[in-house]
Amino acid sequence: MAKARGWYDLLKYSSLGLEMGAAVVIGLLFGVFLDRKLGTEPWLTLLFLAFGFAAAAKAVVRAVRSGILEDEPSDGDELNGDRQ
Amino acid sequence: MAADTFIFLDHTPLHDVLDKPATVETLGGMVNNGLDPSPIIHAGLVSIILVAAAYAISRSYGDRRIHPQGKTFSLANLLEMAVSGLLAFMEGLMGDHARRFVPLIGTTAFFILFCNLLGSIPGFDSPTTNYNTTLACALVIVVATHVIGFRAHGAKYVKHFMGPVWWLAWLIFPIELIGHFARVLSLSVRLVGNMAGDHLVVATFMGLVALLVPAVFMGFGLFVAFVQTFVFTLLSIIYITGALEEAH
């Protein structure tokens, strides 16, 4: 079971890279779209690009936090064997 | 923007190598409008296969809950193995909620798996090499995530988007919104990129060395088809679990 978990985690965290990129792209596109609609170039582009970066950072924080939370109970008897 | 970016995926290179037209003449309206009906037809084929198989297998149970053990291995046995494996995998990640979401996750998983594998049959094409198919799958999952969240928490689900303190909500809300749109993009682009890329590799090697060498990459393609189905399923489960848990 412990081996299978490592395999899930690998796939789970491998999705992080694409999610970070996607967040920046979505933020940028949304900013450009709003700027063209409202004619406020380039301010909303910059603002939403920053939001995109923040969303990417938040994805990392969320993944790290969930990783830490998942690791904590494993100090118990079940997974001790492969910790050492 | 997205449609323009991915338009090159409409004609997979396999069509060029095998000299097979990507369009079906009978659907003239779509062809005249520059649309490629091939993924729709193949996705429809996959749906028909899955529905017919599910119907035939469920009929074979009759009014029993357990399938009679025959001497030969049957399609029903195979499906039971697959579904119970999926359920065990989901229970490992979601606990007690797993059983409720087997229909949603299982349907997308089988649909994507069969779509991915359809491309390995000569003369057929994977619908998942077209961005529209994968975008549809990703949208279904992400929209379902929010529906599930609202049904589980009611109006309090909005707290998931508001962050820990109310005076930061104006800042957190766009960030969370972008994050949720990024999920749609990352789910769909990962699937389409891997499947189209895999077909591109096979097509390239078929053009270079037609004998034996592409077979290696076809085997690799089968592996990719399963892994990508697994990743999509895993991420769907993680997103649904995230919507179910309490906002922090």
Q: What is the pLDDT of residues A24-52, one digit of tens each?
A: 999 999 999 999 899 888 888 999 999 99
**pLDDT at res. B67:** 64
Q: Give residue-wise pLDDT tens across range B63-114.
A: 776 666 666 777 788 888 888 999 998 998 888 888 899 999 999 999 999 9
Do residue B182 and residue A54 have CB atoms under 8 angstroms apart?
no
**Residue B240 located in a structural domain:** yes
A20 and A60 in contact (C-beta within 8 Å)?
yes
**Residue B3 located in a structural domain:** no
pLDDT: which is higher, B33 or B207 = B207
B128 and B6 in contact (C-beta within 8 Å)?
no
**pLDDT at res. A78:** 47
Q: Give residue-wise pLDDT tens across range B126-180.
A: 899 888 899 999 999 999 999 999 999 988 888 888 877 888 888 888 899 999 9
**Residue A68 located in a structural domain:** yes
Question: How many residues in total does chain A contain?
Answer: 84
**Residue A36 located in a structural domain:** yes
**Residue B61 located in a structural domain:** yes
**Residue A8 located in a structural domain:** no
Selected for mutation to probe chain B from A1, A8, A24, A44 (highest B CB count within 10 Å) is A8
Q: For residue B32, what are the domain limits?
A: 19-244
**Residue A3 located in a structural domain:** no
CA distance A45 to B130: 30
Q: For residue A44, what are the domain limits?
A: 15-72
Chain A positions in Cβ-Cβ contact with residue B185 (cut-off 8 Å): 22, 25-26
CB pairs under 8 A between A and B: 59
Domain count, chain A: 1
**pLDDT at res. B162:** 84
pLDDT at B226 > cutoff 70: yes
**Residue B2 located in a structural domain:** no
Q: Tell me, what amino acid is at B204? A: T
CA distance B181 to B235: 14
CB-nearest partner of B182 from A8, A23, A48: A23
Chain B positions in Cβ-Cβ contact with residue A25 (cut-off 8 Å): 182, 185
User: Quick one: closest CA in B to A53, which residue?
Assistant: B175
Given the cut 0.90, state whether the ipTM is greater than it. no
Instruction: Give the H/E segment covering residue B33.
Output: none
**Residue B183 located in a structural domain:** yes
pLDDT at B1 > cutoff 60: no
